[in-house]
Amino acid sequence: MSADRFRKWLMYAYAATLLAFIILPLLIVVPMSLTSSNSLAFPTPGWSLRWYAELWVDQRWPNALWNSVVIGLSTTVLASLLGIPAAIGLAWSDFAGKRIIYAIIAAPLVTPVVIVGVAAFSFFATLGLVGNKLSIILVHTAMAVPVMLTTVVASLSTFDRTLLRAAASLGAGTMRTFFKVVLPLIAPGVITGAIIAFIISFDEVVVASFLSTGAERTLPRMIFSGVRESISPAIAAVAVLLIAFSAVLLGVIAILQSRSQTLRAKVSA
Amino acid sequence: MKRRQRGGMLALLTAPLVLFVVILFLWPVARFLALAVDNSDFSNNLPRTIAALADWKAESGLPDEPVFAALVEDLADARRAGKEGVLAQLVNQRVVGSRFLVIKTAKDAADGKLDMRPVRDEVLSKQAGWKNVDLWQVIARQQSARTDYYLLASLDLKRGADNTIEAVSDDRAIFVDALLRTIWISIVVTVICAVLAVPLAQAIVSAPQVWSKLMFALILFPLWTSLLVRTVIWIIVLQKNGPVNSTLLALGIVGEPLDLIYTRFSLYLAMVQVLLPMMVLSVVAVMRRVPTTYMRAALSLGAPWLTAWRRVQLPLILPGILSGGAIVFVFALGYYITPTLVGGPTDQMISSYIAFYTNNTLNWGMGAALSLQLLMILVLFAFLFWTASALFRRKAHVA
């Protein structure tokens, strides 16, 4: 029995060490970003918020943030407009070639991102769209749609389709049924998918690097070129803000999921 | 009947998305990959010269007057069409150091400075570079609008003097090394992830629910943080006066800061940290479905714990390790950001070369050939993983 307990402790100690390896680097930049010094060093020589203030003052960072948000939101909207109908088509019907359609849609997800970036660059260059937000939005949408589709298909699979007939028998048209019955019930899946689509676009750097020029620089693109030159504490400050942002979004999703679980429990009860 | 019709209507809802992906993703990628065999910039810009060289043999020395006349006409046209730069680059790729020769000759040809007869003597006296027979041999071979030049080059091969395939000189042979390095790095990362993930997954599955949920959330969290941020953080952590080095110094383990960053070690560290969550997720998903009674039965029959785990638990979770391995491996093969930022010059993977050839040298053919190579390896390994798990499932079925 004691060997059993020893093994258990060993296992948990191992898990704790490994999780520390995964999480600690993300936490240790927090004190490092609060440095008063001009360079990143640990232990931090003194404390200050100057690098966060710097981000605000240096016009390029708010600019890049704005670009990233615009591109991310547009990607989310476009991915929803394309992804939700497609998810309904795939979840509620059975037809030959369904697998091929899945394969086509998933292609942008598994293609190495450099190939996506270079191909997009050569394609949009012939259309004269390089250095334009639209090109980045279109490619990001292709990259984000597979995830959107997956979460929506998953929530549709638990959708009770007799509700559709109920709505129809009560005289509701297709659109009305969709907006009043289907959409509210699959909302958690849609919102989760939308958040992930936003994050995919918001974090994407390679395609954005190939397709953006000076004024259209996105936040990741700024970080990427900043790191290649020299790492200033400003980069650490941006990293901290982005980690905090991810934490918030993850929290939102966790709440949504527990909500949908209680909702489902209520419906079935 | 009605149901069927409805299925057809619903299937139409996928049409906009499918069209979107085909037009804005598959078509651009296919178009780019086709550049790997495209030779039209060569054959279209020197049509008369190539035609005039049809009967020429390298053994007979420099070509005759008509070929030179054709060359001057072609180069003058290329210059007027603004294509002489592209052409010079293509020639330069094959015969190093001939870029300037082509550009200068094209300029002179367009300016009418090479009009004196015989043109052959005129060109050779003004641009002695054209006395190089290799150059003519290269041009003579460009009749086709397709070429295997880039595909061969991506395997460190080339067409020799007699048009047979041979290896390039050692100092130019870089791509096979890069290819093997890419595969090797991906294998190492996948194996490390598998070895690290299995015990962690076991801990997550067997812990009390609260702890299990907490561990699961912690493992998920990095997946939500951008890849770029996680990579940048490793640079910050591993740099000369970063936390790791200052801790090692303070503890007296090392006398001076170690070179941790821009090494193969830092590349493995960063890639494992980034990809480990995917492996853990995949193993946990399978492990949760394995009843704990199997292990207990084996133990109660007197098997030592490790034997029971190896003979009972491991085979049951192997599909999870395989599918996690496939995901990690396929992602690792295409890695670009992490090797570029935390790897040293000798740790670069194929993706970095693709970006280099298209960004820095505008050698689209080479970039496309390397992309094709990367995609083929990806498909090959995906197929291997798929076959392995199919075989394994059949075996499990028979047993």
| pLDDT at A269 exceeding the cut of 70 | no
Per-residue pLDDT of chain B (399 residues; tens, 9 = 90+): 444 455 567 888 899 999 999 999 999 999 999 999 999 988 899 999 999 998 888 888 899 899 999 999 999 999 999 898 899 989 988 888 889 999 999 999 998 888 878 888 888 988 888 999 889 988 988 888 899 999 999 999 988 777 788 888 888 889 999 999 999 999 999 999 999 999 999 999 988 889 998 898 888 888 888 889 999 999 888 888 888 888 888 888 888 888 888 999 999 999 999 999 999 999 999 999 888 888 889 888 988 888 998 888 898 899 899 999 999 999 999 999 999 999 988 899 999 999 999 888 888 999 999 999 999 999 999 899 888 888 877 776 655
Length of chain A: 269
Q: What is the number of H-type helices and E-type strands within chain B?
A: 22, 2
Q: What is the mean pLDDT of chain A?
A: 88
Residue of A nearest to B216 (CA): A19
Closest residue in chain A to residue B245, using alpha carbons only: A42
CA atoms of B49 and B59, how far apart (whole Å) = 18
Q: Do A118 and B378 touch (CB under 8 A)?
A: no
- Residue from the list B18, B242, B336 with its beta carbon closest to the beta carbon of A105: B18
Disruptive mutation site among B13, B229, B307 for chain A (greatest number of A CBs within 10 Å): B229
Burial code (b: 16+ CB inside 10 Å, e: under 16) for A93-130 equals: beeeeeeebbebbbbbebbbbbbbbbbbbbbbeeeebb
CA A114/CA B351 separation, integer angstroms: 6
Is position A264 within any domain?
A: no
Measured between CA atoms, the residue of chain A closest to residue B200 is A15
* Window 124-153 of A, Cβ < 8 Å to B: 124, 138-139, 141-142, 145, 149
Q: Pick from A187, A234, A67: which is nearest to B232 by CA?
A: A234
Please, what is the average pLDDT of chain B?
89
Distance CA B330, CA B253 (A): 38
When CB atoms are compared, the residue of B10, B199, B242 closest to A42 is: B242
In a domain, A239, yes or no: no
What separation in angstroms does the CA of B232 have from each of A40, A243, B227, B245, B349? 12, 12, 9, 17, 18
- Give percent of chain B with pLDDT exceeding 70: 97
Q: Which residue has the tokens 């084996």?
A: B298
User: Which residues is B158 bridged to in the sheet?
Assistant: B166
Based on the structure, what is the number of domains in chain A?
A: 1
Residue in chain B nearest A86 by alpha carbon: B14
pLDDT score recorded for residue A80: 96
Please say if the pLDDT value at position A268 is more than 60: no
How many Å apart are CA B71 and CA B50, to the nearest integer? Answer: 9
Is B13's CB within 8 Å of A85's CB? Answer: yes
Q: Which of A88, A142, A235 sits opposite B13 (nearest CB)?
A: A88
Q: Is residue A249 part of a domain?
A: no
ipTM greater than 0.90, yes or no? no
**DSSP state, residue B310:** I
Answer whether B224 sits within 8 Å of A246, measured CB to CB.
Answer: yes
Nearest residue of B to residue A210 by CA position? Answer: B359
* A95 touches B: beta carbon within 8 Å: yes
B69 CA: distance to closest CA in chain A (Å): 34
Is A119 within 8 Å of B204 when comparing Cβ atoms?
no
Minimum Cα–Cα distance from A12: chain B residue: B203
Residues of chain A found within 8 Å of residue B182, distances taken between Cβ atoms: none
A113 touches chain B (CB under 8 A): yes
Domain annotation covers residue A137: yes
Domain that holds residue A143: 59-229
**Cβ <8 Å between B221 and A246:** yes
Question: Using the beta-carbon criterion (under 8 Å), do A15 and B33 form an inter-chain contact?
Answer: no
Confidence at residue A174, expressed as pLDDT on a 0 to 100 scale: 86
Name chain B contacts of A88, Cβ cutoff 8 Å: 10, 13
Which residues on chain B are in Cβ contact (under 8 Å) with A5?
Answer: none
Interface of A with B in 25-44 (CB under 8 A): 25-26, 28-29, 32, 39-43
Query: Is there a contact between A243 and B229 if contact means CB atoms under 8 Å apart?
Result: yes
Q: What is the pLDDT of residue A93?
A: 84
Residue B224 to residue A199, Cβ atoms within 8 A:
yes
- State the CB neighbour count (10 A cutoff) for residue A150: 19
Interface test mutation site (partner B, options A6, A22, A205, max chain B beta carbons within 10 A): A22
Q: How far does B196 lie from chain A, in Å, by closest CA? A: 8
pLDDT of residue B1: 40
The chain A residue lying nearest B330, using CA atoms, is: A110
Model confidence pLDDT, tens digit, residues B195-251: 999 999 999 998 888 999 889 888 888 888 888 999 999 988 888 888 888 888 888
Least CB–CB distance from A86: residue in B14, B200, B217: B14
- Residue A92 domain-assigned? yes
Which of B29, B218, B232 lies at the smallest CB-CB distance from A111?
Answer: B29
What does the alpha-carbon distance between residue A40 and residue A73 come to, in Å, rounded to a whole number? 33
Q: What are chain B's domains?
A: 40-145 (no CATH), 175-398 (1.10.3720.10)
Of all residues in chain A, what percent carry a pLDDT higher than 90? Answer: 38
B364 contacts in chain A (CB < 8 Å): 122
The predicted model scores a pTM of 0.89
Q: Where are the alpha helices (DSSP H) in A58-132?
A: 60-91, 98-110, 113-126
pLDDT digits (tens, 9 = 90+) for B160-207: 777 788 888 888 889 999 999 999 999 999 999 999 999 999 999 988
| Distance between CA atoms of residues A76 and B330, nearest Å | 26
Per-residue pLDDT at A124: 94
Per-window interface: A 176-215 vs B, CB < 8 A: 199, 202-203, 205-206, 210
Write the CATH number for A94: 1.10.3720.10
In a domain, A173, yes or no: yes
Which pairing describes strands B157-159 and B165-167: parallel, antiparallel, or unpaired? antiparallel
- Flag whether A220 is in a domain: yes
* Alpha carbons B21 and B36: distance in angstroms, whole number: 22
Question: Nearest-CA residue of chain B relative to A225?
Answer: B341
Residue pair B193/B279 in contact (Cβ under 8 Å)? The answer is yes
Q: Does residue A85 carry a pLDDT above 80? A: yes
Q: What span, in angstroms and rounded, lies between the C-alpha atoms of B92 and B100?
A: 9
A221 assigned to some structural domain: yes
Of B18, B224, B351, Cβ closest to residue A250: B224
Quick check: A86 and B207 CB within 8 A?
no
Nearest chain B residue (CA) to A241: B229
Average pLDDT for residues A7-14, to the nearest whole number? 90
Mean pLDDT for the stretch of residues A226-250? 86
